[in-house]
Amino acid sequence: MFRQNIIITGASSGLGQGMALEFAKQGANLGLCARRTDRLEALKAQINDTYPNVKVWLLALDVNDHQQVFDVFDQFKELMGNVDRVIVNAGMGKGGSIGTGLFEANKQTAQTNFVAALAQCEAAMKIFRQQNAGHLVTVSSISALRGFRRAMTVYAATKAGLTSLTEGIRLDVMNTPIAVTCVHPGYIKTEINDHADGAPFMIDAETGCRAMVKAINKEPANCYVPSYPWAFIQLILRVLPDKMLRKMS
């Protein structure tokens, strides 16, 4: 099924920006939102120059302003006429080891990656339930499978929560025209992990986003991208001894 009208949050950079370009290449119309509207404008100009038949709508959005999330999604609905897919992508990775004085940064990550994601899911599903159609996509992480240490501790926990939340939503609307997908990217080079040069199997953003869009279009319940090697590695991660897991993080 081709999803014509797609909303992407956190579209001003990283995975959101990359997915927007990939979906535009396929001819999808885009509702793009983020805090940095100047970068959204630049992205829209790039899409319009390359894919002139693609419609692009831009709205400013701070996902931690929960009422604004509902307002922005409703505005996109009015502009598009119908919302076919929402990609809950906005996130961050600040923080550090618990108990080391970084509570505020850890809290900000928790609020942005989980509470704000909940708001986005609520706003998207409200629209989909009204339409009795749509595809909700959440962007989790391979780190959702286990606990990780240091800067990954809270990040991994929020992604685990998002994976569980997405599964619950999917079960709730099973056997309806509403599809729900949780995407678990491996290590993809973006601004959020620009410091992680030693991460295993790291790939560039263009390759990673192409793999994500290909997986999303298949609308599975869960996917690990790129499928090689992460579909295999995720099986190992689930049973990896703690000592080995500690060395990896």
| Catalytically active residues, by annotation | 155
Q: In angstroms, rounded to a whole number, what is the distance separating the alpha carbons of residues 86 and 222?
A: 16
Question: Measuring CA to CA, which residue among 83, 94, 153 is closest to residue 120?
Answer: 83
Dist. CA 57–CA 76, nearest whole Å: 8
Q: How far apart are CA 227 and CA 140, in angstroms?
A: 15
Give CA–CA dist 178/133, Å, rounded: 5
d(CA 65, CA 72): 11
Tokens of 6: 């797609």
- Calculate ∠ Cα 153-189-221, nearest 5°: 70
